[in-house]
Amino acid sequence: MRSEGTADEPETGFDGSPGGGRQPTGPQHAEPRHAGAHGPGDESDESVVEPVGDPTGPEFLGDAPEPAGDTHGTEPELHPHMVIADRYELQRQLGRGGMGVVWEALDRRLGRRVAVKGLLYRGAVEPETQAQWVERARREAQAIARIGHQNVVAVHDVIEAGNQVWIVMELLNARSLADLLREQRRLPVAQAARIALQVLRGLRAVHEAGVLHRDVKPHNVLFRPNGRALLMDFGIATFEGAVQLTKSQEIIGTPKYLAPELVHRGGEALPKPGTPASDLWSLGVTLFEMVEGHAPFRGLSSYEIFIAVYEQPLPAMAHAGPLAPVIGALLRKDPLERPTARETEAMLMAVTSDPPALDPPTHRRNEGLRLPAGDGNAGAGDDGGNGKGPASGGGGSRRRAVLAAAAVGCAVLLAGGTWLTWQKMAAPAPTYKKAHAELKIGVKEDQPGLSQRQTDGSYAGYDIDLATRIAKRMGYGAKDIRFVPVNSENRASMLSAGRVDLVIASYSITPERKQQGVVFAGPYYTALRSFLVRKDAEHAYTDAAELINDNAQICTVRGSTYEKWLTDTGYNLTKRQSSYQLCVDYLLDDKSGISAVSTDDIILAGYVGQDPDKLQQISNAGGAEGYGVAMVPGEPELKKEVCDALRAIVNGQEWEDLYAEHLASLMANESAPNRPKLTECEDS
């Protein structure tokens, strides 16, 4: 008889016998796992490709198809110290799966270690297959990039060159939940509930980004050094309503964790498209395993597991305690009867006595699936994550709207991950984009590091990158975003005249501006008041107080908050210009008489970076300015979409990445400040 313990459970063979099928495909490391890499002992629960046909026949495969022939002779030589895209220096290989290889690398620009994942065997397959692999890797990157959450692995960069796609992810020196279960077999109820709660919150962010994970299991849950649980491992990205099948009618997934609606049984209908309820089933299996020490549905082959999942009742639980009702609800065979993510979160919080999440999901009002307009099927309402709709029919019972969408594309295995995306099924097309095909964003032209127009007419900087990320989360592609130059003096009038939809231009949030009809989302960054002075001894100033005299002439920008502040504080404001660059030009002109430029420290840091031998900051002026995304009143849906995007960015890895990419070097490589509280978004 097989042991019931997770650690002792034999590997399920994919040819119908214990221990058969897949063999380890990469080097074994007795060390923590990294994002995108397979660790020791993972093979028994690795995602597999299962034929829909006769499970005992010769076509019953256990892995993604590998290319025939001598793959090693055709694969380009990868080696330590090789540099990808003139930036990422490969250090050592962490692991490889059916189609992917993961390296630890050094980001030479930012000085941090990252995980870099690329394709294997590209030259050993037909061009059509090679193109499919590249497209799958591209979709994987797009899937992860749509999610910004502290319980989901972060993607930093995507590089595509020739027939290779590299995905740059955060490097996680962390143990997996599977490692923990191998050591302890069972976890205390409170600990298991807290882990499940964090995984669930990550899943909510995943679903709201239009992604199905499709492979929630202990191997794909890691822990950061602070103990926070993190979802990882991406591999499949395809389109809405796609079933768990490849073109050759093979089921993809890890058998023990696949929901029954995804399982095919002989001559019956093919598996149904997955929904968030399918991921919640997998979470239920994982939670069962945490408290009971083994999976609820088992067998000696994948086919036996499929039959158990589809037909057998949930085994009695001996150790689940107050988690038993939660697990029982998540493991209902009918996905329509499973609780929503919001309901599940409430049940887990009752067990842990934890407060609600401090990192609300991207779309707080809509967690459920909704079909695109024109499908002819009712979309789910505010259902909390698994597509359960409002009450309908007699008796007031809650039922989910039917989720029907044609399968599109193919689902394939890449390095063990099993993620599935669908286009805008988490919510209908954003309201604002329906009426505004192009998003016009007002930005500054002359603020180095924040927002600066390049010689080719494009824009670059922190505000530009942030604006692009917000727009993409609102459903806009790069070609649908237009940057419009604004200055401090005309920002409000550009909004009110309809010349721009949003302004993201170091726009400080003040009561006066809100009273004048400007609506803000944010703040997304808080700057300190500062002065810019010359370095040479003749003009040297070292303290802000030294500038409060009649001889020290100050320049600032018209329409800025500094006009009033300088005058009220006693500074000698003698120049008001349309841009800070003009003020800097006056400061460097010996004949102008200008002693200092006054504005925010982050703006002035950009000018110091351009001319460090001549300019320096005096940073003890006192006071702070919170930057917001500005828009006109009367657009609550627009504000909600912007606030939802900001929440995802600020609460995820993106916020620190934006700072590291654009601002850290200007601020003497200081670490990122604390994440701002989005006080202007509390009503959205």
* CA R_g for the chain: 28
Predicted confidence (pLDDT) at residue 56 exceeds the cutoff of 50: no
pLDDT, average across residues 551-575:
94
Q: Tell me the fold of 527-625.
A: D-Maltodextrin-Binding Protein; domain 2 (3.40.190)
pLDDT (0 to 100) of residue 99: 58
Report the percent of the chain where pLDDT is more than 90.
43
Q: Do domains 431-523+627-654 and 527-625 have the same CATH topology?
A: yes
Helix (H), strand (E), coil (C) string for 85-127: CCCEEEEEEEEECCCEEEEEEEECCCCEEEEEEEECCHHHCCH
Dihedral of alpha carbons 496, 500, 502, 503, sign: negative
Task: Identify which has the larger pLDDT, 230 or 444.
Answer: 444
Cα angle vertex 273, ends 272, 274, to 5°? Answer: 110
**pLDDT tens readout for residues 172-187:** 766 789 999 999 999 9
**pLDDT tens readout for residues 265-288:** 554 555 667 788 999 999 999 999
**pLDDT tens readout for residues 323-334:** 999 999 999 999
Tokens of 226: 């602070």
**pLDDT tens readout for residues 350-404:** 888 655 554 433 333 333 322 223 333 333 333 333 433 323 333 333 333 322 2
Among 268, 248, 251, 269, which residue's Cα sits nearest to residue 259?
251
CB 115 within 8 A of CB 103: yes
Give me the residue spans of the domains in the chain.
Answer: 185-392+399-421, 431-523+627-654, 527-625
Give me the amino acid identity at 500: V
Helix (H), strand (E), coil (C) string for 23-55: CCCCCCCCCCECCCCCCCCCHHHCCEEEECCCC
Backbone angles phi, psi at 495, to 5 degrees: -70, -50
CB 26 within 8 A of CB 95: yes
> Distance between CA 589 and CA 584 in Å, rounded?
9
The catalytic site residues sit at: 215
pLDDT (0 to 100) of residue 509: 97
Q: Tell me the fold of 185-392+399-421.
A: Transferase(Phosphotransferase); domain 1 (1.10.510)
**pLDDT tens readout for residues 530-540:** 999 999 867 67
Angle of the 341-352 helix axis to the 276-292 helix axis, nearest 10: 20
**pLDDT tens readout for residues 598-633:** 999 999 999 999 999 999 999 778 899 999 999 999
Q: Tell me the fold of 431-523+627-654.
A: D-Maltodextrin-Binding Protein; domain 2 (3.40.190)
Predicted confidence (pLDDT) at residue 290 exceeds the cutoff of 90: yes
Predicted confidence (pLDDT) at residue 40 exceeds the cutoff of 90: no
Helices then strands, counting H and E runs in the chain, come out as 17, 24
Predicted confidence (pLDDT) at residue 3 exceeds the cutoff of 60: no
Cα distances (angstroms) measured from residue 80 to each of 84, 93, 105, 400, 664: 11, 8, 9, 52, 28
